[in-house]
Amino acid sequence: MADSERQNLQNTCDELIRRQDSLLIASRSAGGAVAISYAPYVRDDAGFYIFVSELAQHTQNLLAQPRASILFIEPEADAGNPFARRRLTFDCRVREIGKNHVDYAPKLDAMAAKFGDIVGVLRTLPDFHLLLLQPQTGQFVAGFGKAFNVDGLGCLQ
């Protein structure tokens, strides 16, 4: 593959993440039941941070089974073909960031800057947990016959 084609694909992959404020999460309960949900996120080089309530099934799952798959997918309205929507999936480890951890306040401040005053309200609720979804490996699908492995940062391999 030519360098320019590879760079265009990388830009498309990066843009897929940048254009979305939330990610889709697949998780598994301790009993093996699978659940899918979503959460708003902020990102840094370590991964994707979500602030979620333990009342939600996905939070219970992620705390009990610290693995998840996350998905970013092209909106249907933007896709040329619903069978070939651009998408990026990551297999992730999950780690809770405790309230006393050095990253806790800065990550929630970043969420507040991105999502507004609601984050300040959520910070006061005792059932909310800050979780870091750390991508290990992934796959970017750019269309029919165009699937590429990516590393934990989303860089095409």
Q: How many CB atoms are located within 10 Å of the residue 72 CB?
A: 24
- What SS3 state is found at 94? strand
Q: Predicted confidence band at 94 (pLDDT cuts at 50, 70, 90)?
A: very high
CATH match of 3-151 with 2.30.110.10 = yes
Domain ranges of the chain: 3-151
Q: Which pLDDT belongs to residue 77?
A: 92
pLDDT (0 to 100) of residue 68: 98
Q: How much is the pLDDT for 143?
A: 92
Confidence of residue 34 (pLDDT cuts 50, 70, 90): very high
Closest CA to 49 of 101, 91, 107, 98: 107
Per DSSP, what are the bridge partners of residue 98? none
CB 10 within 8 Å of CB 88: no
Which residue has tokens 């507040």? 112
Question: What is the identity of the amino acid at 118?
Answer: I
Q: Is residue 33 scored above 90 in pLDDT?
A: yes
**Burial zone of 157 (CB within 10 Å; 0-12 exposed, 13-18 middle, 19+ buried):** exposed
pLDDT (tens digit per residue) in 38-84: 999 999 999 999 999 999 999 999 999 999 999 999 999 999 899 99
Structure tokens at 122: 């959520």
Q: How far apart are CA 108 and CA 126, in angstroms?
A: 14
In this predicted structure, which of 1-5, 90-94, 135-139, 153-157 has the lowest mean pLDDT? 1-5
Provide, rounded to the nearest whole percent, the portion of the chain with pLDDT above 90: 95
What's the mean pLDDT when you consider all of the chain?
96
pLDDT over threshold 90, residue 120: yes
Task: Say yes or no to pLDDT of 1 above 80.
Answer: no
